[in-house]
Amino acid sequence: MLFFLFISREVIVSRFFSILALFFIPLFAFTESESPKTKRVLHLTFNKAYATEFTKIAKEFGCSVTNWLIPALPPCFLDGVSSGNVLYNITHERAQRIWDRHRATFESFDLICVTDSTALSRIFLQNGYTKPLLVWICRPFDYADTSTLDGPFPDVEYYDLLLAARNLPNVTFVASSPYMLHYAGLRGMDFGDLIIPPCALNTSLRSTKKNGKFYVPPYHNETTFMNLTTHLQKLGLDIYNGDLPRLFDLSGYKGVVHLPCDYSAASLFEHLSAGIIYFLPSPTLFEDLLTSKNYFHEQLNELLDHQFSELSEWYDPARSEIFVYFDSWEDLIDKIHSLDYEAQKEKILAYMSEYQKEIKNRWQKLFQTLLP
């Protein structure tokens, strides 16, 4: 007798990829080579730039790093059922599925680090993980992808876990910018005072070819809020607006004209390490733009209500000399024509040389504590 089992196409595909992932996960996670005495680190992140950044740092201190870049993992690999942006929403149930599925793998590492999304720490906090856990807070700690939300998150238990974690000897919180701590403090969360921004360690790609153009990123503020490319072309500038060029190629442009939409970006430090010149709205003009219709910023209401722009990487007073700020479009054109580009590049490179030394020193002290 024949029996026919009818299974939906979605279930077949999900199970196929789950099985495939068990055999081929090395293709989707990259690992530094190691010796028997090398400390093994697992890094979970949604952001490729932070994967590169953290790998360079950890390798500097003798660690090997396996990166789980979540958007590049096979479908359903992480929790067995989910793919895409819904994985930003680490509910109690999702954290449990991930832990149950990968517990043996997690416990085989000497240190686990999560970056970009603090919620990934829940996987370990609610399951009594006892080895060193490093939480690098690179976006607001309670970030959720509301368009794909499939359960209660952030929820009371999540906040309680983070509050309790401050007293756990194996958990270390680090913020990527002062704003991340400030944001948390406004919501009753205390993650300490340790701040280690990205630094693009050992990045020194600089092109000797000069193309004379200015680069305008293809982001919301430069395309939807306003057509910045057309606007600047009418003012007589030669503009390229498209996919972000490779770092080496981007360093050949005269500069980047950008309308900030976030507090911190790992790619910024890669660009500065290559001597790339940024033209930005001055703090005064930036505040005017924020009140304009359709301007995008990841924390727009916070900025409008409390004026926290000085806590961002773009408006940190300590970096005022390495950015070129303009008060108006006419002022931008004047500064573009009057700027000594070679002197400005040298100023940026000199700043980054000292900055990278300082950030490397902070990491060194931390790693000596985490992995003595």
Q: What is the pLDDT of residues 191-236, one digit of tens each?
A: 999 999 999 887 665 655 667 899 999 999 999 999 999 999 999 9
**Alpha helices (runs of H) in 208-282, residue ranges in sequence order:** 220, 228-234, 247-250, 266-273
Neighbours of 102 (CB within 10 A): 19
Q: Is the pLDDT of residue 4 over 70?
A: no
Strand-pair partners of 326: 281
Average pLDDT over residues 318-342: 96
Q: Is the pLDDT of residue 80 over 50?
A: yes
Q: What pLDDT was estimated at residue 212?
A: 84
Average pLDDT over residues 280-301: 88
Average pLDDT over residues 44-49: 92
Q: What pLDDT was estimated at residue 36?
A: 54
Reduce the DSSP state of residue 208 to 3 states and report it.
coil
Q: What pLDDT was estimated at residue 307?
A: 62
What is the torsional sign of CA 207, 209, 214, 215? Answer: negative
Q: What pLDDT was estimated at residue 360?
A: 94
* 115 membership: H or E segment, kind and range: strand 111-115
Equal CATH topology for 28-196 and 214-355: yes
Give how far Cα 66 sits from Cα of 23, 40, 69, 79, 356, Å: 16, 8, 9, 18, 23
Average pLDDT over residues 24-48: 70
Average pLDDT over residues 306-312: 71
| CB-count exposure of residue 66 (10 Å: 0-12, 13-18, 19+) | buried
Q: Which CATH number fits domain 28-196: 3.90.1300.10, 3.40.50.2300, 2.60.120.10, 3.40.50.880?
A: 3.40.50.2300
Q: Is the pLDDT of residue 21 over 50?
A: no
158 closest CA partner among 104, 117, 110, 192: 117
Q: What pLDDT was estimated at residue 168?
A: 97
Average pLDDT over residues 337-357: 95
- State pLDDT tens for residues 86-110: 999 999 999 999 999 999 999 999 9
Q: Domain-by-domain residue ranges, the chain? A: 28-196, 214-355
Average pLDDT over residues 314-343: 95
Cis peptide leading into 154, omega within 30 of 0? yes
5 band by pLDDT with thresholds 50, 70 and 90: very low
Q: 175-189, 269-283, 290-304: which has the minimum mean pLDDT?
A: 290-304
Please give the span between the terminal C-alpha atoms of the chain, in angstroms, as a whole number: 65
Tell me the pLDDT of the chain averaged across its residues: 87
- State pLDDT tens for residues 52-74: 999 999 999 999 999 999 999 99
Q: Is the pLDDT of residue 170 over 80?
A: yes
What is the CATH code for 214-355? Answer: 3.40.50
Query: What tokens were used for 74?
Result: 């096979």
